[in-house]
Amino acid sequence: MTIDQTDRRILRVLQENGRITNQELAERVGLSPSPCLRRLRRLEAAGVIRGYTALVDQKAYGLPINVFVSIKLKHQNEADIAEFEKAIAGWEEVVACYLMTGSQDYLLRVVTDGLESYERFVKAKLTRLKCVSAIESNFAMGIVKDGAVFPSVIP
């Protein structure tokens, strides 16, 4: 599906406020309500809009620590990749996992309430995967920017 500038305006407004009414959305993007709702439904049906969620304050939720974990696999083969990705999919502590280029194979963002919890996660989960050859943990000291809205201009 190809999205145009009007679709991008709709998406940007929804990223800023997912609870906006269709009437308000239509006004903000310069459409009447019916065409706006048709576009919205088309974006949802095509999977461009994957769902709606609440942005929750991580610290208030009780998980103030972000750990960025670089993972190197023993072998970059189908079996090791499948083993790792299957395990990661079921671990709630891992809120993001990226397949990387460069010296590491994966970069994880893990949220935790403290060092002891993170140590338990590493010992009980990561180190038990036979496919993992190296784990490097980097603790975030603070969050400078954590955006949920894509840029309005595509280079």
**148/68 Cα distance (integer angstroms):** 18
CATH number of the domain enclosing 81: 3.30.70.920
Please name the amino acid found at residue 1.
Answer: M
Same domain, 40 and 71: no
Q: Is residue 51 part of a domain?
A: no
Number of domains in the chain: 2
- The 10s digit of each residue's pLDDT in 33-91 is 999 999 999 999 999 999 999 999 999 999 999 999 999 999 999 999 999 999 999 99
Task: Give, as one character, the DSSP assignment of residue 19.
Answer: T
- The 10s digit of each residue's pLDDT in 95-149 is 999 999 999 999 999 999 999 999 999 999 999 999 999 999 999 999 999 888 8
Which of 68, 13, 76, 59 shows the shortest CA–CA distance to 40? 13
- List Cβ neighbours of 99 (8 Å cut-off, separation of 6 or more): 105, 106
Same domain, 41 and 64: no
Same domain, 81 and 126: yes
For residue 29, what are the domain limits? Answer: 5-45
Q: Is residue 151 part of a domain?
A: no
CATH number of the domain enclosing 30: 1.10.10.10
